[in-house]
Amino acid sequence: MRRICFLLKVKQDRLDEYKRRHAAVWPEMLDALRETGWRDYSLFLRPDGLLVGYFETDDLAAALAGMAATDVNSRWQAEMAPFFEGLDGQPDEGIVPLEEVFHLD
């Protein structure tokens, strides 16, 4: 199992709508994430738009490829693309894992 943490930047003027969208993630998107190996997935948002994402997976490359192959991911990413700074419409490609330097357990 590997813990993945990443950072993205949500546009300041889109914060409220971004939070609303994530209060009602499509059930088929949730199913696809689970089916492709994403576990304990969480997003944390700072008031300035810094987004911290965290999830666990056995195989990051397989989890990313599995989601990329789904129709629901393509639709979700297209809807979410306008919310982010500096990703040229590809939010899922912005997942660059941070180096883990400490874990309590």
- Residues with a known catalytic role: 22
Long-range CB pairs of 66-73 (<8 Å, 24+ gap) are: 66/32, 66/35, 66/36, 66/37, 67/32, 67/33, 67/36, 67/38, 67/92, 68/92, 70/32, 70/36, 72/26, 72/28, 72/29, 72/32, 73/29, 73/32
